Amino acid sequence: MQYVSTEYREQMQKPARNKSYMRLSMGLINQAAQRGAEVQEGDFAPYSDIKAPLSDDKVSKIYATYEENWNSLDGSVYFLPKNGTYFQQGAVTNALVSEHPSITVRFNTEDTVSLKGITLKFGKSWPTRLMITTEQGQAEYENNSKEFATEDTFDEITYMTITALEMSRGETRFRLEQFTCGIGLEFDDNKIISAKLSSTISPIAENLPTIDFTVTIENMDKYYNVDNEDSAINYVETGQELKVYWGYGLDDGTIEWFKGATLYMQEWSADDTTAKFSAVDKFEYMDDEYKRGEYRPEGISLYDLAVDVFEDANISADEYWIDPYLKNITVQNPLPAVSHKQCLQLIANAGRSVLMQSADGILMIKSSFLPDIEASANAETEYSDATKLLENESRHEYAAYETNFARTNGAQYFLPRQQAQYVQCGFISQAISGEDGTFPENPVVTLSMESAYTFHNITLYFGHAIPKKFVLRTYRDGERVATYKSKSISAVTIVKYDFVDVDRIEIEFTEAKPLNRIHLMRVEFGEATDYTITYDDLFSPPTGKRLEKVKEMRVTRTIYTPGTELKDLTQEEIDTPLVPTDYEFSFSNAVHGLTVACVVDGEEVDVGAEVIEQRTYWCKVRISNPPAVPIKVTLTVRGYEFGISTAIKAVTLNNKGKIQSWDNPLISSETDAQNLVEWVGEYYAAGNEYELKFRGDPALEVNDLTYLESQYVESLMIRLEDVETSYNGSISGKITARRKM
């Protein structure tokens, strides 16, 4: 679920809602021009970085230099270092504005480029007058902010020179912090006629996730007509970024905005009244084949394997996130020669994870199971057992010498005189608070998880002595994520926050009633949000579908054995090239130990043929020493085929029903097969699916766990698998969900 305010969540439950809003941001960026652009060498300051304006690096620290109205004494500027190691400053000219300094960007592309506008960021001092020069000629512009954008078109150009004529702070240098080949278009309620955002996910990575978005824009001014030479639609490209924002009017008059999706343009069209755009998720563009699948006897972690797939797909490290838990799972088997997105799907499934794209456009492989959690404490009494805090069993108390603690109603036990098997009490601190309620050393309970985990509330059950204050801290990979201070504390205290992807929790008790220990009897996690879809939210009663029962869940293990028989795996007749040339071959069976030979009339000839790269289903061969006169040869790749055997790991779910088989080629070990069959089996055991038509809430996302009001089941938990939100000035929604047992 999107992170939204308490006010938003409360108002979503009102019988009559306030107005909803929508906003779109489309970047008309010429991707080829942006990739090929570079700032030309010139007369730049020594602390300048001419590559920075074309990267995502932002200027955060600036240097004190001799310029008019530039320096300040508020600590916001830095002295230039003597060692020449500088903070990133962007491109900074040596010349001051009186010399009309220029910065030239050249586009190193095969063809000329055409841009629908440009966007420039200048920083603390910006040009109030500037000139832009291209092959088309030159034009002067006025500017009144640190960011400049123009919708002017620049067609068939190879370079662009920006010249500063006047600066906002007077006699200063010309600084260019960012150069973007295009502009951003914004659409709001005045332009948006209708829109629909649909998301689908498989909690067990059975299918690939999808996000589809369509929007219709008012075009009465014919700005988006394809015949209009200045129309922005002529500069829309496949893959350009589109961001979707949802808004809701709160009772205090403000609008709460949050990002609904980051998508990529797919199709567009326009007529005299409307323009239509559609966009999809990034997975849609990951269709290239992954050929680097390799059998690794020593193994590779699913984490490293996913990194390799992302890198091969040219997805940068800041565009994806992989659950660190996948570092703990090692596989030997190769990925098959399928698309990059299908490889990620196999990795996610093997790691009991969900494959998804976040609202910020980050591709994610996130563990999707309740991890093993261990509880511990820094110091506890001999009859305390913090390791049992998470177990759901009865708890008791021993009478003890603590202020206002012992009772005579038969609800407490006397401590045994001799060493004995104590009744289960949960965690009781060794430390006793002083007269002021503080501790000489604060009691700390630590909850450690085998993988990062997302939950939406944590419930603390206290005994007769209730603490007065505690601090809850969350961590991920050793780094602190957040800190929460207690508010009201009662015997059953529910801490309601969105704890996202944390793998350790510390609960530090900082104050109790005078002369008391901490008595924490049990801890429970709430995996689901406290969001409930009620009958008041629905346009019609839920449509429930009873899915066919699964009697037995089976997972296939695939075991590879190196081959022992040398074979001719593939042959191709070729004329030897005039220059060294590479050839690629794919194999339908898994192979290893490859060599290559060129044969003429049954005899091998030396043309420098060698295997320069080989994987389990693919290899690259190079002829490095071809003869001066081409000859016809039979290029033969030889090697061994792996022997492949299978084994079945099964779990019984029901007394009757169908047998559900599951085959993931990465799974070879018994442990991985057992974990997978239980995880997938739990999903199929749920059995019920629901279709809901309701008044919508764009804060709900696929894979969310929520509650559905039911006349027959108390706290009916569902996992959202398909979420559709429509907008036409107001919102409505559709959901397909599966029951979570």
Domain presence at residue 237: no
Predicted pLDDT of residue 526: 67
- Helix/strand/coil (H, E, C) string of 392-450? CCCCCEECCCCCCCCCCCCCEECCCCCCCCCCCCCEEECCCCCCCCCCCCCCEEEEEEE
Domain presence at residue 520: yes
Same domain, 90 and 146: yes
Predicted pLDDT of residue 714: 79
Is residue 737 very low, low, confident or very high in pLDDT (cuts 50, 70, 90)?
very high
Residues 611 and 637: their CA atoms lie apart, in Å, by 9
Domain presence at residue 170: yes
Same domain, 390 and 435: yes
551 contacts 659 by C-beta, under 8 angstroms: yes
Number of domains in the chain: 4
Domain presence at residue 48: yes
Range of the domain at 386: 373-526
pLDDT tens-digit series, residues 425-467: 789 888 888 999 999 999 999 999 887 777 767 888 888 788 9
CA distances from 575 to 572, 624, 634 (A): 10, 14, 9
573 contacts 633 by C-beta, under 8 angstroms: yes
Domain presence at residue 460: yes
Segment among 4-8, 214-218, 539-543 with least mean pLDDT = 4-8
Domain presence at residue 292: yes
The last residue of a domain, from among 641, 666, 688: 641
Residues 374 and 449: their CA atoms lie apart, in Å, by 6
Same domain, 382 and 522: yes
Domain presence at residue 227: no
Domain presence at residue 486: yes
Same domain, 344 and 407: no
Give the pLDDT mean for 248-263: 91
The last residue of a domain, from among 335, 351, 367: 367
Segment among 328-337, 641-650, 653-662, 708-717 with least mean pLDDT = 708-717
Q: Count CB-CB contacts under 10 A for residue 313.
A: 21
Give the pLDDT mean for 183-191: 86
Beta bridge partners of 3: none
In CATH, what number is assigned to the domain containing residue 73? 2.60.120.260
Same domain, 432 and 576: no
Same domain, 415 and 355: no
Which two three-digit tokens encode residue 692? 């809901």
Same domain, 352 and 419: no
pLDDT tens-digit series, residues 403-427: 666 666 656 666 676 666 777 778 9
Same domain, 398 and 362: no
Is residue 495 very low, low, confident or very high in pLDDT (cuts 50, 70, 90)?
confident
Is residue 378 very low, low, confident or very high in pLDDT (cuts 50, 70, 90)?
very high
Same domain, 70 and 175: yes
CA distances from 618 to 62, 570, 635 (A): 51, 11, 15
Q: What are phi and psi of 557, to 5 degrees?
A: -90, 140
pLDDT at 230 over 90: no
pLDDT tens-digit series, residues 168-186: 999 999 999 999 988 888 8
Same domain, 414 and 443: yes
pLDDT at 641 over 60: yes
In CATH, what number is assigned to the domain containing residue 355? 3.55.50.10
pLDDT at 93 over 90: yes
Segment among 340-344, 484-488, 567-571 with least mean pLDDT = 484-488
Is residue 375 very low, low, confident or very high in pLDDT (cuts 50, 70, 90)?
very high
Is residue 401 very low, low, confident or very high in pLDDT (cuts 50, 70, 90)?
low
Same domain, 69 and 170: yes
CA-based nearest residue to 604, from 651, 646, 640, 568: 568
Give the pLDDT mean for 107-122: 90
CA-based nearest residue to 121, from 42, 193, 176: 176
Which two three-digit tokens encode residue 371? 């991890």
The last residue of a domain, from among 345, 367, 389: 367
Predicted pLDDT of residue 405: 66
pLDDT at 372 over 90: no
Same domain, 339 and 465: no
